[in-house]
């Protein structure tokens, strides 16, 4: 599934930023539980996947994650290869937007819409949600796709951090794209 957007309106960028900022400020934004080598507690599920940003240079890049049922929203700074490990409670989550800037010296932060969702199901201690790839094109356009690379690297990344995990311990609940959140 792919979404293609054109980033043309300063008003739209500003409104997305303000909405994202408002959501984060009102939810007392924080990051999810820090990664550790412990297994999730009885109420938590370890959610893993990647955010892959295809943008020239060395951009600073964040995605915003919002629990659909309420709770604490946060921004996730994409680092390294974009692999993440988040301890979350079962439920529905949205990634409504993302922000980026072209390095520390770039005075402006740009915002885009992601229209992404994922669900953390009950019943398994680990959930793989896929790789969210955001590709930037000339003229401010960007495309968003979701890839299932579980068998070609996703499980290996999880097993590297948590040795001994069996594939049957991991549920797949891939990110979906489309429509307004």
Taking all residues of the chain, what is their mean pLDDT, rounded to a whole number? Answer: 77
Does residue 38 lie within any of the structural domains? Answer: no
Q: Where does 55-125 show beta strands of DSSP type E?
A: 60-67, 74-77, 83-88, 91-101, 110-120
Q: Higher pLDDT residue, 122 or 71?
A: 122
Query: Is residue 49 in some structural domain?
Result: yes
Question: CA dist 155 to 44, 84, 121, Å?
Answer: 19, 12, 18
Query: What local confidence, expressed as pLDDT, does residue 145 receive?
Result: 95
pLDDT at 143: 92
Q: Which two tokens mark 48?
A: 């893993």
Q: What is the mean pLDDT of residues 57-76?
A: 85
pLDDT higher at 181 or 169: 169
137: which 2 tokens? 């094109």
- pLDDT tens digits, 108-163: 788 899 999 999 999 888 999 999 999 988 887 899 999 999 888 888 888 888 89
pLDDT at position 74 is 84
Q: Residue 161: how many CA atoms within 13 Å on its side-chain side?
A: 21
Q: What's the rounded Cα separation, in Å, for the pair 64 and 69? A: 15
82 belongs to a structural domain:
yes
Domain assignment present for 33: no
Q: Is the pLDDT of residue 95 over 70?
A: yes
pLDDT at 91 over 90: yes
Phi, then psi, of 21 in degrees rounded to 5: -60, -45
- What is the sign, positive or negative, of the torsion defined by CA atoms of 31, 32, 35, 36? positive
In a domain, residue 120? The reply is yes
Q: Confirm whether 37 is domain-assigned.
A: no
| Residue 133 falls inside a structural domain | yes
Residue 170's domain spans which residues? 2-28+44-177
Residue 164 lies in a domain: yes
Q: pTM of the full predicted structure?
A: 0.75
pLDDT of 3: 46
- Residue 47: pLDDT band (50, 70, 90) is very high
pLDDT at 162: 86
Question: What confidence tier does 41 reach under pLDDT thresholds 50, 70, 90?
Answer: low
Number of domains in the chain: 1
pLDDT at 94: 94
Token code pair at residue 163: 């040795």
pLDDT at 90 over 60: yes
DSSP conformational letter for 127: E
Say what the pLDDT of residue 8 is: 40
Q: Which two tokens stand for residue 105?
A: 């010296």
pLDDT at 180: 58
């Amino acid at each position: 599934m792919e979404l293609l957007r054109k980033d043309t309106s300063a008003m739209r960028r500003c409104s997305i930023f303000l909405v994202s900022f408002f959501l984060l400020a009102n939810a007392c934004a924080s990051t999810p539980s820090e990664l550790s080598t412990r297994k999730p507690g009885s109420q938590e599920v370890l959610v893993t996947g990647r955010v892959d940003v295809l943008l020239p240079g060395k951009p600073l890049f964040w995605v915003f994650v919002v629990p659909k049922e309420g709770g604490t929203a946060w921004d996730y700074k994409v680092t390294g290869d974009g692999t993440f490990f988040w301890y979350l409670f079962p439920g529905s989550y949205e990634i409504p937007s993302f922000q980026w800037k072209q390095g520390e010296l770039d005075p402006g932060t740009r915002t885009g819409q992601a229209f992404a969702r994922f669900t953390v199901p009950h019943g398994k201690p680990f959930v793989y949600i896929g790789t969210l790839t955001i590709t930037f094109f000339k003229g401010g356009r960007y495309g968003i796709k979701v890839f299932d690379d579980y068998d070609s690297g996703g499980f290996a990344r999880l097993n590297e951090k948590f040795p001994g995990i069996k594939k049957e311990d991991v549920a797949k609940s891939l990110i979906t794209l489309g429509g307004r959140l």
